[in-house]
Chains A and B, each alone.
Chain A
Amino acid sequence: MDIATQSIDGGFAEPVFNAQAVFRAIMDAMARPGTVQPLPQRARPPAPLSATAGAVALSLCDNDTPVWLDQPLQAEAAVKAWLGFHTGAPSANTPADAHFALIVNPKEMAALDGFAQGTQEYPDRSTTLILLVDDLASGPSLLLEGPGIEKTSMIAPPGMPRHFVEQWKQNTQRFPRGVDIILAAPGSLACLPRTTRIKTMEA
């Protein structure tokens, strides 16, 4: 299949209702960090972008939001063409310019503090990271607490960035600045807003 066909196929079948359903899953996940929100397949982006990450991008990105792609995605012309056709989002030159970052290989990703952190006056001008993970249960356990969590909650995404717990600790200490993370797994997603604290991490 040539790039032109790949870039046009695979968008939302029902753009209005699908975007709403995906957003509600993200909103619920962001409001209740650590909960896993099911997300049936609604988009079919070209590999290596996953259906979940693609759907998140379709529901949130447009020509107002520069998107940064990590190296494996950057190398894939079909992904860029697909995002360009369906969202119209410009690509960010550096992580610090990005409103959203799509990261297919979190293990090798740049440091969290390299992305836009917002300012003390405008902490909302920060990057939202969309990390592609294989699942939300097979990795090292992350015990979470903070706003949106009654006592504690737990997720265990595999293949997280290097020194993630330490990096995330620094991220929460920068509050109100900092980045937020959407973990896109096949068929589901979870969120880590900057307020969420990781209590312990079992090896």
Chain B
Amino acid sequence: MTDIATYNFAYLDEQTKRMIRRAILKGIAIPGYQVPFASREMPMPYGWGTGGVQVTASIIGPDDVLKVIDQGADDTTNAVSIRAFFRKVANVAVTTDTATATIIQTRHRIPEHPLTAGQVLVFQVPIPEPLRFLEPRETETRKMHALEEYGLMHVKLYEDIARHGRIATTYAYPVKVEGRYVMDPSPTPKFDNPKMHRSPALQLFGAGREKRIYAVPPFTDVVSLDFEDHPFEVQAFDQPCALCGAGNVYLDEVILDDHGGHMFVCSDTDHCEKRRADSTSPSWGGRAEGAGGENGQSSLSSIPTPALRADPPHKGEGKEAE
């Protein structure tokens, strides 16, 4: 660890940390409100989690245990590089185990394992403003939040129903926090929205390029917007994880070959590996649904995966996460 002396602990200088810490405290005091902050350039491009990294760097201490996930996985590029970054600049313990982590930085998922009090979940957020694609002017969206004028968001959801017969928004599904602010839960699948509601963990959101920090304290109401006759519902999968057999978890589609072979596996790699290591859980032995071409397409169409969602991908989505 000779090179750690080159940097301040956790990379950021102390004045930057104080500025971010003040923003975090305001964010906690005003749940769902986006606090502007003086986002710094980080040694990684916008879109790779600069907001989340700045939040994590400002709260992390030498005793913390850090877990980083990217779409639920601990072993993808974004997660591996951010974990290595903090191991280098803060010399902290890192883990892939959800239960033992004190800080979990995440890109677009909430772990399947229930979070506990004392844990902090740090989200990387690309576009923090839920109204941005409905109203591009910051001055206007700010006024809409000030006046609690969220009719436009309901019109957007209604247009979904008019066009598709159901609310077709499947990720970044707008929520109302503590009955006041409409908030973008970051592009998590709406499958994870219910986990935000009255979670025992503190949830912090950092958007580096857009320079906003917001927060949801523990045990805070987070309600997904819906209509009486079109209540909010999460994605349902008609088959369990092909590796560990878990139901009621969010699944990723993995393409196996170029003949339509594919399988659905847990998006949360830690959860999946734990279940497979635990011999008491039913193992599906890596059964691949539709491998070899039979029955390949029929199960595909009924399962809303990011690749198949009805609404068109918009700007600032996908790898644009901060």
Contact = CB atoms under 8 A, between A and B. Distances in A.
Contacts of A20: 9, 17, 59-61
A30 B146 contact: no
Contacts of B30: 123-124, 175-176, 194-195
The listed residue with most B CB atoms (<10 A of its CB), out of A15, A26, A124, is A124
Interface string A143-154: 000011110000
Size class of B's contact patch?
35 or more
A7 interface: no
A121 B178 contact: no
A21 B59 CA distance: 9
B2 interface: no
Size class of A's contact patch?
35 or more
Interface stretch (A40-48, A56-64, A76-84, A157-165): A56-64
A19 B18 contact: yes
Contacts of A86: none
Contacts, number: 111
B19 interface: yes
Interface in A116-130: 119-124, 126, 128
A193 B62 contact: no
B217 interface: yes
Contact of B25 (A147, A150, A180): A180
A122 B33 CA distance: 9
Contacts of A99: 22
A32 B143 CA distance: 29
What 3 A-B pairs come out closest when comparing CB atoms? A193-B29, A148-B217, A120-B146
Interface of A: 15-17, 19-21, 23-24, 26-28, 30-32, 59-62, 64-65, 99, 119-124, 126, 128, 147-150, 175-176, 180, 193-195
Given A65-B22, A121-B146, A126-B26, 17 more contacts: A15-B14, A17-B61, A20-B9, A20-B59, A20-B61, A23-B17, A27-B21, A32-B217, A64-B19, A121-B145, A122-B36, A124-B23, A147-B221, A148-B217, A148-B219, A148-B220, A193-B217
